[in-house]
Amino acid sequence: MRSSDGDWWLLSNTKLYRFAGVTNFRDLDGMPPSTTYDSSSGLLANGMFQIFEDSKKNIWVSTRGSNASGNGVAILTPGSRSFRPLSEADGYPRGKAPSSFLEDSRGRIWLGFYEGGLGVYENGTVRIFPSGIPETGLITDMIVDAKGRMWLATSVHGLYRVNDHQSDTPTFEKVDVASAPLSNNIRTITQDRFGRLYLGGARGVERYCPDTGHVKRLTVSEGLAADFVVDSFRDKNDDLWFVTNDGVSRLTPLQDEDPPPPQVLIGSLRILGRLAPVPELGAASFDTGDLPHTDNNFQIDWFGLDLRAGEFLRYQFMLEGADADWSKQSDQMTVTYANLRPGSYRFLVRAINTEGASSAAPAVIAFQIIPPVWQRWWFLTLSAIAAGCAIYAVYSYRTKKFVQINSALEEARKAAERLRRSREERLIELERVRSRIAIDLHDDIGASLTQIAILSQVAQTKNGSNGAAAPLNKITEVSNELVGTMSDIVWSINPAKDHLCDLMQRMRRFASDVVAPKDIIARFDLPDDSSAIVVDSNIRREVFLVFKEAINNIAKHSEASRVSVRLSIDDRTIELDVQDDGKGFENIAPSFADTFTSEGYSGNGIPSMRRRAMEMGGHLQIDSTKGVGTQIKLRMPRELSFDDSIIPNRG
């Protein structure tokens, strides 16, 4: 770099060299430097990376060391002998080395970092932009064009435009060109006197016009020394210089002229793999004539003509009769259509240059695929007439059958209605019988048994000291048991108690009467919405009797402190689970379990519960662990019905 005072500055991997008072670059050959700078001069490392001079004649030098501590930037002010490095106290990010510099019209210094990211230096402080700029890849170059727009080049993410860069809150926008995508690896930016940007990178030079969006690529075919461009410069004569790995190239930009539109020609046509007779030099239009319906696979190739240097074309195509609009622009030069339906078609293709000018007239292929015999109009007409006759005959036949079927269905419906009414009447009558039996049992037999129990207790009181006390006690005990049994029978046959909530209420009442005097805590887990679930009286009675037997056994033999009862029901089964934390007993073979109790003697409780379950097609399982407790699981099949209109005064 040559500074404004005429000094030459050369970067190396070990030092920074300064040659003062040299007017001719050739005089540097063999001349010793007037000053050298390294880490002892305030630079962070000896590996020099980038250099920049601002409008105040400050020299900025970025370095890259063997570790992050050597990455950074230092400033040499006029008259100073050593550099002052920027640090975290100045807001500078630790471990980042600037790969590009730019001074805007406000005198701020923009810093594009090698590791990604962007910052700006103003009034002795560095401010890092938090978002909008990629955090990976180099920011290789920055420029403000003739219209005051700021542009950033990156080595991984392509070109960015900085909107409103003079403000404190600029925004960043990636530049995408649909017609001719820009390279993502851009190393340098310069501009010509017409406001066009030249982006040098791994694909040569791309000339981009911000106003029109047009892109033109310059490569070795246009005289570039090599395709990889690392730096660029615009001299005082408005010539552009591009530095490549194999040399330097100069370009004198010229004003754009209205280019002639490109031309496109059909190169070849294959129908079912057979070449059609297209001229060797291409054809602007081609007509295949009528084709049989089997010739419906096409491969079409084309090419474009544009005589301007460095021009590359893109294409759009459309098949009239199948496509609604032109395809997207691409460099595709062939297309295949398979299994086209019979009909008339026109294939059109046009070329588009980088300025957006398209062919004056597209290349055209016209063809018509003739439908097979069974798809032609006369065949379809005859087929429609024949089908109409057949449909009419079938319709007449089906109409007669429909009348007969409707009559039979009506008779069947009436019979089904009579049967339904008969069933409803029988069910109503059955409920009346059940209600009458329950009332009779409760009022007559139940009242009589209660009277016997009371009289026996009175007799026992009056004759407590003679030999009649024992028989009277037995009479009292048997009468009370009969009263309880009669209450269970009345409850089980009473149709007003067919809902699941009635079963749950009776289970709770019985458990409270039996286990509460034994200081046993009972916990119930019962289903919700039980008032809407109707249970068959037989199932309800057997479930309750099994539960009753289980609670009696727990109260008499288990020595438990807690008992849990879970009742669950769905549309097919009803399940009862009774579990205690008593002393339990050892599991034994099922053949003996029927007569085994927790105390080791024979009894009828377990066989009775098993018999009730088997008679209803259910299953009873008893699991007991000595010292842990006993669990009784009852599962019965049951189809449920939900009563949507519960009668409040039914019971």
Helices (H), 441-530: 446-462, 469-493, 500-515
pTM to 2 decimals?
Answer: 0.49
Residue 451, pLDDT score:
63
Q: Which of 299, 309, 311, 310 is nearest to 351 (CA)?
A: 311
- Rounded distance between C-alpha atoms, residue 527 and residue 108, angstroms: 76
Does the pLDDT at position 352 exceed 70? yes
Confidence bin at 269 (pLDDT 50/70/90): very high
Q: CB under 8 Å to 308, separation ≥6 — which residues?
A: 259, 353
Note the pLDDT tens digit of each residue in 9-52.
Answer: 999 999 999 999 888 888 888 899 999 999 999 999 999 999 99
φ, ψ for residue 482, nearest 5 deg: -65, -35
Percent of the chain residues past pLDDT 90, beyond the cut: 44
- Strands 59-63 and 48-53, by their bridges, are antiparallel
What pLDDT digit, counting tens, does each position of 489-543 carry? 666 666 666 677 877 888 888 888 888 888 888 898 888 777 778 777 778 788 8
Mean model confidence pLDDT for the chain: 84
Q: Are strands 363-369 and 285-291 parallel, antiparallel or unpaired?
A: parallel
**Phi, psi for residue 467 in degrees, rounded to 5:** -75, -10
Helices (H), 308-445: 377-440
* Phi-psi category of residue 596: left, alpha or beta, with phi > 0 → left and psi -120 to 50 → alpha: beta
Q: What is the separation, in whole angstroms, between the first and last Cα of the chain?
A: 108
Q: Please determine, for residue 465, whether its predicted confidence score (pLDDT) is greater than 80.
A: no
Strands (DSSP E) contained in 38-95 are 48-53, 59-63, 72-76, 84-85
Residue 422 is given by DSSP the state: H
Mean local confidence (pLDDT), 129-143: 83
Query: Is 265 a residue whose pLDDT tops 50?
Result: yes
Residue 595 has pLDDT above 70, yes or no: no
β-pairing, 521-525 vs 363-369, is unpaired
Each residue of 212-236: pLDDT tens digit? 888 888 888 888 999 899 999 999 9
pLDDT per residue as tens digits for the range 157-181: 999 999 988 888 899 999 988 767 8
For residues 593-620, average pLDDT:
67
On the question of pLDDT at 488 being above 70, the answer is no
Strand, coil or helix: 239: coil
Two tokens, residue 191: 């501009």
- Do residues 48 and 16 touch, judged by C-beta distance below 8 A? yes
How far is the C-alpha of 356 from the C-alpha of 88, rounded, in Å? 50
The encoded tokens of residue 635 equal 């599962």
Q: Does domain 263-375 have CATH number 2.40.50.100?
A: no
What CATH number has the domain spanning 8-194? 2.130.10.10
Q: Note whether 94 and 104 are within 8 A (CB).
A: no
Short-list 133, 145, 119, CA closest to 198 = 145
Identify whether the C-beta of residue 620 lies closer than 8 Å to the C-beta of residue 609: yes
b (16+ CB within 10 A) / e for 364-385:
bbebebeeeeeeeeeeeeeeee
The answer, yes or no, to whether residue 183 has pLDDT greater than 80, is yes
As a whole number of angstroms, the distance between CA 347 and CA 299 comes to: 11
DSSP code, position 342: S
Determine which helix (DSSP H) or strand (DSSP E) holds 546, and give its type and residue range: helix 537-553
Structure tokens at 416: 């089904």
What is the C-alpha to C-alpha distance for residues 521 and 543, in angstroms, rounded to an integer? 21
Q: Give 217-264 as a DSSP string.
A: EE-GGGT-S-S-EEEEEE-TTS-EEEEETTEEEEE-------PPPPEE
Mind listing the pLDDT tens digit for each residue in 92-106? Answer: 999 999 999 999 999
Q: C-alpha 222: how far from its chain's center?
A: 49
Residue 42 is predicted with a pLDDT of 94
- Give 49-61 pLDDT, tens digit per residue: 999 999 999 999 9
Any idea which of 412-421, 474-483, 617-626 has the lowest mean pLDDT? 474-483
CA distances to 118, 175, 176, 334 from 160, in Å: 12, 6, 9, 34
| Lowest model confidence (mean pLDDT) among 82-86, 196-200, 221-225, 637-641 | 637-641
Q: How many angstroms separate the CA atoms of 547 and 612, rounded?
A: 11
- Looking at residue 188, what is its pLDDT? 95
- Give me the residue label for tokens 């007509």: 287
Per-residue pLDDT, 445: 62
C-alpha 516/C-alpha 197 separation (Å) is: 96
pLDDT at 153: 93
How does DSSP classify residue 499?
B
pLDDT surpasses 80 at 288: yes
How many CB atoms sit inside 10 A of residue 257's CB? 8
Tell whether the torsion through CA atoms of 274, 280, 284 and 287 is positive or negative.
Answer: negative
DSSP label at residue 322: T
Both tokens of 389, joined, read: 């006759």
**Helix, strand, coil percentages in the chain from 3-state DSSP, rounded to 5:** 30, 30, 40
> What is the percent of the chain with per-residue pLDDT over 70, rounded to a whole number?
82
Q: Say yes or no to pLDDT of 336 above 60.
A: yes
Q: Is residue 650 scored above 50 in pLDDT?
A: no
Reading phi first (left if > 0) and then psi (alpha if -120 to 50, else beta), residue 433 is in alpha
Q: Residue 541 has what pLDDT?
A: 80
Residue spans per domain, the chain: 8-194, 263-375, 498-642
The CATH number, out of the four listed (3.40.50.261, 3.40.1640.10, 3.30.565.10, 3.40.50.12780), of the domain defined by the range 498-642: 3.30.565.10
Tell me: the pLDDT tens digits for 548-558?
888 888 888 88
